[in-house]
Amino acid sequence: MTRDDLPFLRRRSRMTPPPSSANPPAAQSGPPASPPAARPGASANPLDLARPDEPRVAPLDLSRPGAARVDPLDLGSSTPAPTPAAPERTGSGLDLGSSALDLGSSTPAPASPQAPTSRHRALPDHDLQLRGIAEGQVLQFTPGNPVVQLTRTQSAAGELTFRAEISQPNDLILVAAFETTDGREGMVVPSLRPQGPDPSAPILRASSTITVNLRFITRLRRFFVLGVPRRSDLRLPGGTLVTSTYGGARLDLPLGTEVTLGAKALLTAYVVEGRIVLRAEHDPYSGTLQQVCDVYGYGGLSWRDPFTPL
Amino acid sequence: MSALPKGANVSLSKEIPGLTGVVVGVDWDTGGERALGDNLALLTLLAGADGKVVSQDHVVHFNQLVSSDLSTAQLEQALGGDDEQVEVELSGVPESVQRIVFVLYLSESGTGRRTLARLRSCIVRVLNLQGGAQIIASANLASGLDAETAISLAELYRRGGEWKFRVLGSGYSSGLAGVARDFGVRL
């Protein structure tokens, strides 16, 4: 089956097995952090999820919302106000290839009565038609419903935690790649590079779990979580990848038991207008850590070997 | 005017007749402790008569900088000596909003067992939105903090057709979760 919802996946080809000498990340003292890398040009705009053969929409300005910037010349006469908080959506996140994330086609909300006189600008508020999750709720990612969007407040409260619930905890290592809003790419890997991008003020941490400090969410453009099986046959261990919010919401992604080529993308996340959009990949492909990062658009990372980022 | 202690209030409408808007600034000192300073955040809650936020879009913070009615906005970069500032256009606040409460909290990630006890000082100032002149300032609200991880600093509230300002200074040991529970914020 050809996936047409993520343009950069068109570059994907079946992976070759990793060299026998390539091992999953091992505990070692890592070299200095890799220098800031340019964004991979081939992946283009990571938010452009339109079909490859469709006209591309104008790129979304994902800079910090300028709502609070005071512009004395902006009388707000044309500034639409957002609608009140939308209730949790039950729509399918499956149709990402067509319009669900087509930010150029959604309709802004009508202006509120206050808009014409306010010095403040409304936040961008494109309706992505994605399902949300309430505090304390448990949802499951499925191939037919792989996407969940957090609210801006959920995306800013406490931390987001990713934990593998498996029978033998050592059978799977979780690692994460990320890109900051200033274009830096990096990885967090347990023992090797447990914090990033700045160890003195980390946004992501990797240990037995991956955690994202949401106090710094405005500095993050995207990230994704990968699984690296530690069994000798490189088979995924089954179990569940559990994503937890500060408010106690839980998102479960069942893990398979298939043999991999060393690493597998599990879950991707994009920060869209301040809201974290999580997508379970359910991707049949696997490869070395480097290969998987590359096909998911993290081509700016440097590597010591196919499983060890610099 | 001397610094307002906890519990004290002042009528802004009487102090500045014709006042159309204010800037509420919060100035804190963590004594150089970066992990504390990096994880402090200001939350502004536009609450109705029932004490709950009138909607989830009436919660203003660093990742949701403007209320949906556009009356209240947190600045991306505070001006002057404040660490955070929130502009409130009083005339634009919907009638359904009876109180605007300002809360400082410690974001609970990577902060270990830190609390606001290490906060050396925390002062709230109210400025005139037109011109930026200071109207009033609170006393130091950091004194007496111990196990708290959030503190409601002050509030703007309606009383008899006026806007008044009150210093609160009440702490939460349950942090953001406790604040959210009290004000109906969905996390």
Q: What is the pLDDT of residues B103-158, one digit of tens each?
A: 999 998 765 678 999 899 999 999 999 999 999 999 999 988 889 999 999 999 99
Q: Which residues sit opposite A301 in a β-bridge?
A: none
Mutate which of B38, B53, B63 to test chain A, going by most A C-beta atoms within 10 A? Answer: B63
DSSP B93: S
Residue A100: both structure tokens together: 């669900």
Higher pLDDT, A91 or B10: B10
Q: How close is the nearest chain B Cα to the Cα of A72, in Å?
A: 12
Q: What is the pLDDT of residues A115-157, one digit of tens each?
A: 457 889 999 888 888 999 999 999 999 999 999 999 999 999 9
The helix (run of H) or strand (run of E) holding residue B175 is helix B175-183
Round to the nearest angstrom and report the end-to-end CA distance of chain B. Answer: 39
Nearest to B145 by CA among B109, B121, B125: B121
pLDDT band at B163 (very low <50, low <70, confident <90, very high): very high
Residue A129: both structure tokens together: 């038609």
Average pLDDT over residues B8-16: 93
CB distance A227 to A255 below 8 Å? yes
CB distance B110 to A205 below 8 Å? yes
Q: Which residue has the tokens 């806007």?
A: B163
Determine the residue of chain A that is closest to B110 in CA distance.
Answer: A213
Nearest to A118 by CA among B63, B43, B74, B69: B69
Per-residue pLDDT of chain A (310 residues; tens, 9 = 90+): 444 444 433 343 344 444 443 344 443 333 333 333 333 333 334 444 433 333 333 444 434 444 444 443 343 333 344 433 333 433 333 344 334 444 544 444 444 444 457 889 999 888 888 999 999 999 999 999 999 999 999 999 999 999 999 999 899 999 999 999 999 999 999 999 999 898 888 999 999 999 999 999 999 999 999 999 999 999 999 999 999 999 999 999 999 999 999 999 999 999 999 999 999 999 999 999 999 999 999 999 999 999 999 8
3-class SS letters over A147-193: EEECCCCCCCCCEEEEEEECCCHHHEEEEEEEEECCCCEEEEECCCE
3-class SS letters over A243-275: EECCCCCEEEEECCCCECCCEEEEEEEEEECCE
For residue A8, the model assigns a pLDDT of: 38
What torsion, rounded to 10 degrees, do the Cα atoms A36, A219, A82, B187 define? 140
Whole-Å CA distances, A246 to A221, A249, A250, B60, B109: 20, 7, 10, 18, 9
Determine the residue of chain B that is closest to A218 in CA distance.
Answer: B63
Non-local CB neighbours of A53 within 8 Å, separated by 6+ positions: none
Q: How close is the nearest chain A Cα to the Cα of B136, in Å?
A: 23
| Burial track A172-185 (b if 16+ CB lie within 10 A, e otherwise) | bbbbbbbbbeeebb
CA B138 – CA A14 distance, rounded (Å): 65
Non-local CB neighbours of A309 within 8 Å, separated by 6+ positions: A34, A186, A187, A189, A192, A193, A289, A290, A293, A301, A302, A303
CA B153 – CA B169 distance, rounded (Å): 5
Q: What is the pLDDT of residues B51-79, one digit of tens each?
A: 999 999 999 999 999 999 999 999 998 98
Q: How, if at all, do strands A138-140 and A250-254 pair?
A: parallel
For residue A126, the model assigns a pLDDT of: 85
**ipTM for this model:** 0.94
Instruction: Indicate the residue type of A98.
Output: S
CA A228 – CA A225 distance, rounded (Å): 10
Non-local CB neighbours of A69 within 8 Å, separated by 6+ positions: A121, B76
Q: Which chain B residues have a beta carbon less than 8 Å from that of A159?
A: 108-110
For residue A127, the model assigns a pLDDT of: 84
CA B34 – CA A16 distance, rounded (Å): 46
Longest C-alpha distance within chain A, in Å?
Answer: 67
For residue B111, the model assigns a pLDDT of: 59
DSSP A38: P
Q: Which chain B residues have a beta carbon less than 8 Å from that of A122?
A: 66, 68, 70
Of the candidates B69, B76, B109, the beta carbon closest to that of A215 is on B109
- Sheet containing strand A172-180, edge to edge, reads A147-149, A275-280, A264-272, A220-229, A172-180, A185-188
Whole-Å CA distances, A249 to A138, A161, A164, A209, A246: 6, 11, 16, 17, 7
- Long-range pairs for B177-184: beta carbons < 8 A, 24 or more residues apart: B177/A246, B177/A247, B178/B150, B179/B43, B179/B45, B179/B103, B179/B105, B179/B150, B179/B152, B180/A157, B180/A247, B182/B51, B183/B45, B183/B47, B183/B51, B183/B52, B183/B53, B183/B101, B184/B51, B184/B52, B184/B53
Q: Which residue has the tokens 């300073």?
A: B37
Determine the residue of chain A that is closest to B93 in CA distance.
Answer: A114
Determine the residue of chain A that is closest to B74 in CA distance.
Answer: A68
CA B77 – CA A69 distance, rounded (Å): 9
Residue A179: both structure tokens together: 């890109």
Q: Which chain B residues have a beta carbon less than 8 Å from that of A215?
A: 38-39, 41, 62, 107, 109
Whole-Å CA distances, A128 to A152, A264, A293: 13, 27, 26
Percent of chain B with pLDDT over 70: 98
Q: How, if at all, do strands A250-254 and A264-272 pair?
A: unpaired
Residue A10: both structure tokens together: 């068109």
Task: Provide the residue count of chain B.
Answer: 187
CA A265 – CA A292 distance, rounded (Å): 7
B34, A134: Cβ pair inside 8 Å? Answer: no
Extended beta strands in chain B, E state:
9-11, 21-29, 40-47, 59-60, 72-74, 84-89, 99-106, 121-128, 134-137, 150-159, 162-172
